[in-house]
Structure 1
């Protein structure tokens, strides 16, 4: 028997949870941080569900278990764009259960919860509503070309592995092709047509402006 929780129950539990999804380099993590600070809320940054990773296994979560099964980091950066895209999609699907469980735990605290999420828009429609979800988008050229400009440990670690490759230039070209695939125009359009509120990153809009727009949308 498959175990599931009805949508109306999850929507009630997540009544103080605000989700931000979207493409890379759109500013999701920055907004989650600022909103949680301003409203004395709980910040759920990227990979906030990692404290539940000890529950996964290679059979039920093969994509999330990839780091245990891969040969080395050169294999990781050397996958084809199609392989990388399928892995990202698979990780998102497998992580959804972990994210929902973690959010149920956090929602019990009674504070507002701001989430940088990979939960798909299809699932978000089932567990939340229009004014609790925002989609932040970034043009593909910016999300790919400026991907390694951020100083977070994960991206800098990947950059180091690329530089360790036998042919760093070819490795970088391949990895950028992977980023282009997961930030494709088709995926961008799917977000735009999701039915949720969307905000596209521009050079003219300040961080303060973006924060105000989200506050108004979330009715904070």
Structure 2
């Protein structure tokens, strides 16, 4: 049992079932995610990783159960949930006509966390995108586009990151940069849910793992790292 004075989870699920679920399908899912923790969601293509992240982001209504943050059910105040959450799906959310700098300006403005151009340029250098500063996003490679989207997540500094296969298209140096970004985010008190085919190289003591293949086959409620 969690002590009465323990901090509330940043995010938790109670009896959560995806709309992919049918009789005999996925079991209800429970988990608590606290500050400084990462939930690594693994599973084969089609196992429900993306649906889970969309439910956690408030973009997909669950078939059953609910998602909660420190203020209660996220559906009661979705705007507040969006304000503290960075969601990165399979798409990078970039405008091909805008430059890397312009894309980040717009993304950060929409997220409510605007930054000066100098800060944006410094972050792009960290992600080895300084040569792309004034290049239209349509000219970027797959890996460059993914790094640009990840730079927006880092600069947004939201307490909760929901990342759907953030490592897609990344080379070894970029994977290391992603690892460092996740470690820094957790060390600063942030939390993250990461769906990936590979385990993130974060500290094991900070990481819980949910295998969606096991979840789909379970005939009972599944609890992941419950407090």
Could you say which TM-score interval applies, normalised by the shorter chain? 0.3 to 0.5
Between Structure 1 and Structure 2, the one with more helix by share is 1
TM-score, length-scaled by structure 1: 0.40
TM-score, length-scaled by structure 2: 0.39
